[in-house]
């Protein structure tokens, strides 16, 4: 706007034919030449966060003093004008050689501009990323824009007879700055619009009313009166401008400052919150006051070794889990020593301008997450989670002050999350210790009656073998089969009790070399009655395909039977509403190192977005009433304790699923475990 005043005044001064009128318009143009360096310094000081209120007051005092001399003692300032270039009247300092005019040029366009440039260069040297690029444009605009007035004054001081073409350079300055504001957010566009509007209105009154008064009402000859009015208005104009500018910016930024104060207060309260859900909700409630279109919380999950969504508001992404090796997670972890949030604009700049590959990799992920800012939650240099923030209402800026507050929120939230997990683990350990004692006691109480049952059933079996007792052959066979089931059931109970006792004492469940066929036999004896019930009611078809001559694996038979039993129960549940009800167990040797078990069904399938999460605690594909979500979690723990690996495959909902488990082949010495080789059996098939 200040440049526009110079342009308008100099244009009028060089197009009128009267020397007096030309002089008056040069006085108008000098309003800009006096205040432009001062306003520019004020802008630079604000941008580099330099507190210089006293110095600014001194500069504006000098400016108003020069403005008064410009209009009321013109002989001491401009001095005189001369007809130059055979075209127009131009300022000619050489006629009167006024020292005030010379010193104003040296002070404002020499010392003050050099000092402003020094501040910008110092800021440029210590800045990085998008701020450094903003300063590049500012420095370039300064070099171009300020070259214009310096070349213009050469003829005025008699140092050159070159035509003042450089006037156009001053017009390039606002174009460059405008581009930097729009493209690189050099300034908040709302503040820029407010300042420009107020400046235009104030100086339209300052210049417009006197000109209209002079030329429309008084005529061209009586120009002194509008000049006096203009001088008076110009004297109070800056005060009016800065008053309304300050009020407008306060109104625009009042909401921002209020939100910053709320966030600062909230960040201090974070450390006092011990409940994780309460902590997340508190942060979420305060962040929503920034009018963000969506907020997503990701926290580290030890079991899945990934970051999973814990809370979200209008989540625009389908990513419920981000793996530990995801490029975005890797960047956040590598940058965990720096709490500054990731800003999408800065990431784009680093990728585009500085060609940084790491930022090029994370741009697609941030776009998929619709993330404008990502706040890392770090505790003692470890990333424990992060918060994804979308765009603000009206595409408002995430200002530098706001980014600093968000960094503080992330740091304190990280500490609070870490504390929660620490105290949560402590409480869990206390509960676990207590439960271990209870479990050991219960196991002992159960073991006693089971021992009695085993002893009494053995006694009954021996008693009925007495040759003096007669029993029909079919009845004796049924009795023997029943006694066999009782003894096997007691054996299973005793094995489970041994597991409970081993867990309570912190010892591993004993493992022995065994064949998968042994596990399958025990599993089928246990689950055959359950399957027969489903088969009779729903017509479920179950197929087993077990490869012959499979090598040994090292495992616990009871636990491995539990794995297969869980898979069968899940499959029976999955196919109950399917038109085709088929379940298949296939066991074969994958290679020299692994034996694979595949449990497939034609049930309701698994969605792709949760197929990796079904192994987590409290994650279920059943209804909330039907499933606890602990089955596959326990199974995964059993498989991991056998050095195995497990995963699920499914083409989607309604297309069935296959649970795949692989166990390592036992390659030790069987004699170390006193294991007897079983006779070889042919392949089994049961429908």
Confidence (pLDDT) at 233: 55
Average pLDDT over residues 32-36: 82
DSSP string, 565-620: HHHHHHHHHHTTT-SS-EEEEEEEE-SSSEEEEEEEESSS---TTTTTTTTSTT--
How high is the pLDDT of residue 84? Answer: 85
Calculate Rg over the CA atoms of the chain: 42
User: CATH 3.30.565.10 occupies which residues in the chain?
Assistant: 509-686
Name the burial class of residue 232, with classes exposed (0-12), middle (13-18) and buried (19+) by CB atoms within 10 angstroms of its CB: middle
| Between 265 and 333, the higher pLDDT residue | 333
At residue 242, does pLDDT exceed 60? no
User: Higher model confidence: residue 125 or residue 304?
Assistant: 125
Is pLDDT at 206 greater than 80 in this prediction? no
- CA distance linking residue 436 with residue 444, whole number of Å: 12
Q: Please, which residues have CB within 8 angstroms of residue 626's CB and are 6 or more apart in sequence?
A: 573, 620
- Give yes or no for residue 555 having a pLDDT over 50: yes
Residue 26's pLDDT is 84
Q: Give 663-686 pLDDT, tens digit per residue.
A: 999 988 888 776 544 444 444 433
| pLDDT for position 209 | 59
Sheet holding 645-649, edge to edge: 645-649, 657-664, 594-601, 582-589, 541-546, 684-686
Alpha-carbon gap, residue 552 to 302, rounded angstroms: 32
CB 187 within 8 A of CB 181: yes
3-state DSSP call for residue 11?
A: helix
pTM (two decimals): 0.45
Give the range among 11-25, 435-449, 660-674 with minimum mean pLDDT.
Answer: 435-449
Cα-based torsion angle of the residue sequence 56, 60, 61, 64 in order, rounded to the nearest 10 degrees = 180
**Confidence class for position 373, pLDDT limits 50, 70, 90:** very high
CA atoms within 13 A on the CB side of 357: 0
CATH assignment of 272-424?
3.30.450.40
- Taking a C-beta distance cutoff of 8 angstroms, is the pair 658, 650 a contact? yes
Q: How many CB atoms lie within 10 A of CB 207?
A: 20
Under the banding of pLDDT at 50, 70 and 90, the label for residue 379 is confident
Banded model confidence at residue 600, pLDDT cuts 50, 70, 90: very high
> Which band of pLDDT confidence, cut at 50, 70 and 90, is reported for residue 594?
very high
96-105, 217-226, 450-459: range with highest mean pLDDT: 96-105
Is 70 exceeded by the pLDDT of residue 168? yes
Q: What is the pLDDT of residue 259?
A: 60
Phi, psi at 298, each rounded to 5°: -115, 130
Tokens 């990333």 correspond to what residue?
383
Q: Which residue has the higher pLDDT, 650 or 468?
A: 650
Reported as a single tens digit per residue, the pLDDT across 467-517 is 666 667 777 777 777 777 777 777 767 766 666 656 555 556 678 899 988
Is the pLDDT assigned to residue 218 strictly greater than 60? no
Strands 582-589 and 541-546: parallel
Residues of the chain with CATH 3.30.450.40: 272-424
Record the tokens describing residue 589, joined without a space: 């040797």
Per-residue pLDDT at 238 exceeds 50: yes
Least confident of 50-64, 110-124, 254-268, 450-464: 254-268
Report how far residue 107's alpha carbon sits from residue 61's, in angstroms, rounded to the nearest whole number: 14
Q: Are 167 and 152 in contact (CB under 8 A)?
A: yes
Q: What percent of the chain has pLDDT over 70?
A: 70
pLDDT interval class at 1 (50, 70, 90): low
Nearest Cα neighbor of 27 from 215, 266, 269, 211 is 211
- Residues facing residue 84 across a β-bridge: 88
**pLDDT at position 587:** 93
For the residues 565-571, what does the mean pLDDT come to?
89
Q: Which of 144-158, 473-487, 523-537, 584-598 tops mean pLDDT?
A: 584-598
Q: How far apart are CA 364 and CA 366, in angstroms?
A: 6
Q: Determine the length of the chain.
A: 687
Residue 665 has what pLDDT? 93
pLDDT at residue 354, rounded to an integer: 66
**So what's the pLDDT on residue 271?**
60
User: What mean pLDDT is predicted for residues 534-554?
Assistant: 86
Give residue-wise pLDDT tens across range 427-443.
545 555 555 555 556 66
Virtual CA dihedral for 298, 299, 300, 304, nearest 10 degrees?
A: -70
**Confidence band, pLDDT 50/70/90 cuts, at residue 152:** confident
Asked if 650 contacts 661 with a C-beta cutoff of 8 angstroms, the reply is no
Q: At what angle do helices 357-368 and 344-352 cross, to 10 degrees?
A: 140
Predicted pLDDT of residue 504: 52
Q: How confident is the model at residue 6 (pLDDT cuts 50, 70, 90)?
A: confident
Give the whole-number percent of the chain exceeding pLDDT 90.
8
Question: Residues 205-209: what's their mean pLDDT?
Answer: 57
Give the whole-angstrom CA distance, residue 286 versus residue 263.
6
Count of CB atoms situated within 10 Å of the CB of 271:
13
What is the pLDDT at residue 122?
Answer: 87
Check whether 256 has a pLDDT greater than 60.
Answer: no
pLDDT per residue over 580-589, tens digit each? 899 999 999 9
Q: What is the CATH number of domain 509-686?
A: 3.30.565.10
- 520-531 mean pLDDT: 81
Helices (H) and strands (E) in the chain, counts: 18, 16
Is 4 or 500 the better-scoring residue by pLDDT?
Answer: 4
Beta pairing, strands 373-379 & 342-343: antiparallel
State the pLDDT confidence band at 656, using cuts at 50, 70 and 90.
Answer: very high
């Amino acid at each position: 706007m200040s440049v526009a005043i110079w342009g308008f005044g100099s244009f009028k001064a060089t197009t009128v034919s009267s020397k007096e009128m030309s002089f008056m318009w040069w006085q108008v143009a000098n309003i800009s030449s006096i205040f432009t360096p001062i306003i520019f310094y004020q802008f630079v000081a604000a941008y580099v966060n330099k507190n210089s209120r006293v110095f600014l007051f001194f500069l504006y005092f000098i400016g108003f003093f020069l403005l008064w001399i410009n209009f009321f003692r013109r002989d001491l300032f401009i001095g005189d004008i001369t007809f130059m270039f055979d075209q127009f009247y131009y300022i000619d300092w050489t006629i009167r050689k006024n020292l005030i005019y010379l010193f104003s040029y040296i002070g404002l366009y020499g010392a003050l501009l050099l000092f402003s440039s020094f501040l910008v260069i110092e800021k440029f040297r210590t800045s990085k990323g998008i701020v450094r690029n903003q300063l590049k444009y500012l420095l370039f605009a300064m070099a171009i824009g300020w070259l214009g007035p310096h070349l213009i004054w050469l003829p005025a001081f008699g140092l050159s007879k070159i035509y003042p073409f450089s006037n156009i350079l001053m017009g390039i300055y606002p174009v460059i700055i405008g581009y930097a504001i729009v493209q690189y957010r050099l300034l908040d566009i709302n503040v820029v619009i407010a300042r420009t509007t107020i400046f235009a209105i104030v100086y339209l009154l300052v210049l417009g009313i006197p000109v209209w008064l002079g030329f429309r009402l008084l005529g061209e000859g009586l120009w002194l009166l509008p000049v006096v009015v203009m001088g008076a208005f110009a004297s109070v104009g800056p005060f009016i401008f800065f008053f309304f500018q300050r009020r407008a910016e306060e109104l625009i930024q009042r909401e921002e400052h209020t939100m910053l104060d709320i966030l600062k207060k909230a960040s201090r309260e974070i450390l006092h919150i011990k409940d994780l859900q309460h902590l997340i909700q508190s942060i979420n409630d305060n962040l929503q006051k920034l009018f963000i279109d969506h907020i997503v919380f990701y926290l580290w999950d030890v079991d899945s070794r990934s970051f999973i969504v814990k809370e979200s508001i209008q989540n625009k992404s389908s990513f419920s889990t981000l793996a530990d090796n995801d490029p975005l997670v890797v960047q956040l972890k590598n940058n965990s020593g720096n709490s500054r949030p990731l800003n999408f604009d800065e990431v784009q700049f680093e990728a585009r301008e500085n060609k940084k590959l790491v930022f090029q990799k994370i741009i697609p992920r941030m776009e998929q997450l619709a993330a404008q800012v990502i706040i890392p939650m770090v505790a003692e240099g470890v990333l424990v989670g992060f918060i994804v923030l979308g765009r603000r209402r009206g595409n408002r800026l995430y200002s530098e002050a706001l980014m600093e507050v968000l960094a503080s929120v992330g740091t304190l939230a990280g500490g609070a999350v870490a504390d929660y997990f620490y105290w949560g683990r402590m409480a869990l350990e206390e509960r676990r210790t207590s439960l271990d004692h209870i479990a050991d006691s219960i196991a002992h109480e159960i073991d006693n009656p089971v021992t009695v049952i085993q002893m009494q059933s053995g006694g009954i079996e021996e008693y009925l073998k007495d040759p003096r007792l007669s029993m029909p052959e079919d009845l004796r066979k049924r009795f023997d089969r029943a006694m066999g089931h009782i003894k096997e059931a007691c054996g299973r109970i005793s094995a489970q009790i041994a597991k409970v006792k081993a867990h309570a004492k912190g010892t591993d469940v004993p493992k022995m070399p065994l064949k998968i066929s042994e596990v399958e036999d025990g599993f089928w004896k246990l689950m055959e009655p359950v399957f027969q019930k489903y088969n009779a009611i729903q017509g479920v078809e179950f197929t087993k395909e077990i490869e012959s001559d499979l090598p040994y694996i090292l495992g616990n038979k009871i636990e491995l039977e539990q794995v297969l039993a869980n898979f069968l129960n899940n499959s029976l549940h999955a196919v109950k509403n399917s038109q085709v009800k088929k379940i298949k167990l296939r066991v074969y040797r994958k290679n020299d190192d692994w034996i694979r078990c595949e449990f497939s069904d034609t049930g309701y399938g698994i969605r792709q977005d949760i197929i990796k999460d079904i192994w987590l605690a409290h994650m279920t594909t059943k209804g909330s009433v039907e499933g606890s979500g602990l089955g596959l979690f326990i199974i995964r723990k059993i498989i991991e304790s056998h050095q195995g690996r497990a995963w699920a495959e499914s083409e989607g909902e309604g297309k069935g699923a296959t649970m795949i488990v692989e166990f390592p082949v036992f390659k030790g010495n069987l004699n170390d475990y006193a294991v007897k080789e079983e006779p070889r059996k042919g392949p089994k098939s049961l429908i």
